[in-house]
Structure 1
């Protein structure tokens, strides 16, 4: 396993250990890690891509939760 893969596993675990309402805050770091893996020619697991999509949707929803009505 590469260092990037190990780093990604640690980040994945940290995200899953975080309260669901705050997980979206890790989206920028996850995006960076995905890009680094792709640039290095490493395969990004489907579960990581799925988590990234979920965090993106959560981040968008969080923006609307903070809008004044």
Structure 2
């Protein structure tokens, strides 16, 4: 896929989203240990999986953007 370089403000916004997702992931993992209800535990586990995938995608995009600057 041919991607255009990210503008500086886009890179900064993506970094903010990555930071936010990382905090959410940490919170979800911590709360998972406290949850007794199996249905809620399943939802949190799904959220952890989806958030982990989002973090990986954001990291890949930022890495690509950094490589384009070089």
Give TM-score, length-normalised by structure 2: 0.49
Superposition TM-score, scaled by structure 1 size: 0.50
Which structure's relative contact order is higher, taking Cα pairs within 8 Å and 6+ residues apart? 2
Structure with the larger helix share: 2
